[in-house]
A and B are shown apart, each in its own frame.
Chain A
């Protein structure tokens, strides 16, 4: 089930919120209800995979319990940690990468005339990349002694399967949420509920009213044969996808955070105006921040971080970004995308940051945005041959009218709206407005006013969800 679906907006969320709010303020009762609702939520989209996720979390819970039990014995706790990691990464490898691995193995062995290995298509359980990473944080945090494991399996299950962040994050690290599972009802204030509802509706609007329009335009262009497009058309497609992925994913994160807030949970923010970044290094501090934090804490730092020689640092960055690319999908274009970003991170460290710093904020944002757009094209087009043609067309300065396309009417308007919100923070004094909206103290009238607007947005989005066949969600498949 995704948040921007009729079943969620018309049935699941209303019933969940009403029952949840009618329950007495007893932590266990509320947690059990959230857990059961989360199981229902997940099994709606993956009824068979729910058994996989329940089984694996049980095993993981036992293994991590052993890690904690043997906390004074370095060797033993390492063995149990490795078993837990093997379980989680093995699961991820099997479901997400096995077909990819076999395809590539076949490609290599076919060169030597060997027979190809035939395997059936393995279906990907929804959200597996997210909950695998979260399971790893649990095991590693307990191993590192950052936090004791949960005593109750069902609380651990709740951490893993908590529906607001289950399908597409934010990736919540165990120690960030462990206390909240125990005390979230203390934060279940009416203020938080209204703010949460408002944030949910803002996220829903970003997804339904903007991302879907951008996506429809991006699909119309990027699904075409690039040979039939001219340079202008390819750039329109790339820009449409650039806005789609931002409003889609950040919208989903807002919905997740808003839902959490309605239950007294505070999930971490995932985006911070990424398109106003002045470098790729800054971009990764603003884009999918919880993935960045995960990569930093569980991969980059264990590799040595930046307290190493320059060459080792570059290698670490390359490894992290290749892994990040592969995490997004089992396809070479994701690996290339990771390498592309990794390259700019390395160039930043070598000299680019200084150059971008010198040329001023706006030019550096333009250059960075340009790099990001090219990156999204790599991310979007899985067929490597087609990707090559598309990128070639983007830089071919081909303005043959035969390759022109007529943009959708709604795209013509909403691309400006998307650009305005994406680059709002570049406007002088915009930071004040931004902080006033997101971090200021609200009075009652403002809070009620926002709630009324949120209700209106909810209905408008529901209309669009009900009336449109086009409603993809990009990160759903990861």
Chain B
């Protein structure tokens, strides 16, 4: 047997003779030491006082042969190491900080650092530019239905109010959005479509963009913050005040009014004004360029001022009203349906909107506000308008549909609240290579049909 020699290129680096000395061995063992420290770090238990993550660290998944064979154990372990392990939790903020400092990149989905350290949402820039705007027919359909609902409710003494909120990317694109995001020529966007159609149909609505634009140059404090995902707390107060005055005017009543005599100024964002910092898991960002204002609010009003029940349906901008106490004081302990899904304030059984009888709920209020920001207008109302429209125009079909959907929704809620079931579903999703939402759907359908049988 002959051994054929062949030239195979390898990158063997030649080291000077005598290189393998003690110092090199020390270097190698130091590397091994570092690596084993990494492996051991997740198993170490530091004192809680000097390790703020100690309390929140989850435990690693338990080994089980069937989980191993279907790959579930591996997926869980990798997810644990990345997201929940002690080391993973330590490394994440450092990586995020590095990304922020080096690349102006944020870990918060769709967010980047824009001009002047403004954290901006690229999706919101796209909606401002009118990219993928809803077809006119869809906007017309939704608002025409809204008009029918408004007229029906008006006859019962209830007012439907639509409120459109600009995001900071929408409100001041030239100030906060880098040029590279604005290359796409601006087209008619959802905000403009909704405002124009609302005007044409004579709906009650508040166009916050126009209002804020009118005070843009005179407002003493920033209307939008650099590091928040919403408008500033100061603007939230102005917006709430505007909403209260609008309802007073519409209904010809007096409400307890939001008021403030003074404001506290701060370079450090408070309340929700710096929420993008936390959501991006950053430790340090630059200071706000202008001090932010925090009105010291209270509620005042004449003896004639009476709270009324006002239902809110909206995105996270409406939540600001909750923080300001609107739902509690002038709206007389009213509710807010977050994305027309979960009920706020949260009930002990985590009530969801579908559990209500829609008609009796709506008719127990004096006004209903649907409030969405420019970035969420593509799902304005999240099905509320279709539901309420069908309920008032074709109740038979509406109640038949609700009856059919109810068991599945009930099953989904049960699944979400049952940790074991969720674990089982995650496993199934991993095995079938489908999303967890799809796996929940499948399970809910299975449970619902089982219950029926």
For A438, what are the chain B residues with a Cβ–Cβ distance below 8 Å? 11, 13
B69, CB-defined interface residue at 8 Å: yes
For A444, what are the chain B residues with a Cβ–Cβ distance below 8 Å? 16, 19, 21, 23-24
Known: A444-B19, A444-B24, A466-B92. A409 touches B112 (CB 8 A): yes
Contact A455 B31 (CB under 8 A): yes
Q: Which of A175, A406, A451, A454 has the most CB of B within 10 A?
A: A406
For A192, what are the chain B residues with a Cβ–Cβ distance below 8 Å? 12
Contact A11 B39 (CB under 8 A): yes
What string of 1s and 0s marks CB contacts (under 8 Å) between A374-413 and chain B?
Answer: 0000000000000000000000000001101011111011
Contact B3 A442 (CB under 8 A): no
Contact B181 A10 (CB under 8 A): no
Q: Which A-chain residue is minimally distant from B26 (CB atoms)? A: A448
Q: Which A-chain residue is minimally distant from B129 (CB atoms)? A: A402
Contact A289 B9 (CB under 8 A): yes
Contact B2 A145 (CB under 8 A): yes
Q: Which B-chain residue is minimally distant from A463 (CB atoms)? A: B95
Partner of A191, one of B2, B19, B82: B19
Taking the nearest CB of chain B, how far is it from the CB of A119, in angstroms? 18
Q: Which A-chain residue is minimally distant from B39 (CB atoms)? A: A14
Taking the nearest CB of chain A, how far is it from the CB of B106, in angstroms? 9
A26, CB-defined interface residue at 8 Å: no
Inter-chain CA distance A462–B35, complex, in Å, is 11
Stretch at the interface among A15-23, A100-108, A276-284, A302-310: A15-23
Contact B24 A190 (CB under 8 A): yes
Q: Which of A10, A45, A439, A454 has the most CB of B within 10 A?
A: A10
Stretch at the interface among A91-99, A155-163, A264-272, A364-372: A264-272
Contact B184 A402 (CB under 8 A): yes
A47, CB-defined interface residue at 8 Å: yes
Partner of B10, one of A11, A190, A267, A464: A267
B4, CB-defined interface residue at 8 Å: yes
A467, CB-defined interface residue at 8 Å: yes
For A440, what are the chain B residues with a Cβ–Cβ distance below 8 Å? 13-14
A194, CB-defined interface residue at 8 Å: yes
What string of 1s and 0s marks CB contacts (under 8 Å) between B21-59 and chain A?
Answer: 101110110011011101100100000000000000000
For A10, what are the chain B residues with a Cβ–Cβ distance below 8 Å? 38-39, 42, 81, 85, 87
B8, CB-defined interface residue at 8 Å: yes
Taking the nearest CB of chain B, how far is it from the CB of A444, in angstroms? 6
Partner of A47, one of B69, B96, B185: B69
For A406, what are the chain B residues with a Cβ–Cβ distance below 8 Å? 122, 178, 180-181, 183
For A465, what are the chain B residues with a Cβ–Cβ distance below 8 Å? 82
Known: A257-B11, A402-B185, A462-B91. A6 touches B82 (CB 8 A): yes
Contact A44 B20 (CB under 8 A): no
What string of 1s and 0s marks CB contacts (under 8 Å) between A433-466 and chain B?
Answer: 0000011111110011001001100001011111
For A176, what are the chain B residues with a Cβ–Cβ distance below 8 Å? 6, 8
Known: A194-B28, A402-B184. A15 touches B14 (CB 8 A): no
Inter-chain CA distance A438–B14, complex, in Å, is 9
Q: Which B-chain residue is minimally distant from A175 (CB atoms)? A: B4
Taking the nearest CB of chain B, how far is it from the CB of A69, in angstroms? 13
27 contacts between A and B (CB under 8 A): A7-B74, A10-B81, A10-B87, A14-B39, A17-B35, A45-B74, A48-B69, A146-B2, A148-B1, A189-B20, A191-B19, A194-B31, A266-B12, A267-B10, A401-B185, A409-B103, A440-B13, A441-B14, A442-B19, A443-B15, A451-B28, A455-B31, A455-B34, A466-B81, A466-B87, A467-B92, A467-B96
Residues on B lying within 8 angstroms of A by beta carbon are 1-4, 6, 8-16, 19-21, 23-25, 27-28, 31-32, 34-36, 38-39, 42, 68-71, 74, 77-78, 81-82, 85, 87-88, 91-92, 94-96, 98-99, 102-105, 107, 112-113, 122, 178, 180-181, 183-185
Beyond contacts A6-B88, A448-B27, A455-B34: 17 other A-B pairs, Cβ-Cβ < 8 A, are A9-B38, A15-B36, A15-B39, A45-B74, A147-B1, A190-B24, A191-B13, A191-B19, A195-B13, A197-B28, A197-B31, A266-B10, A402-B184, A409-B113, A412-B103, A439-B14, A454-B31
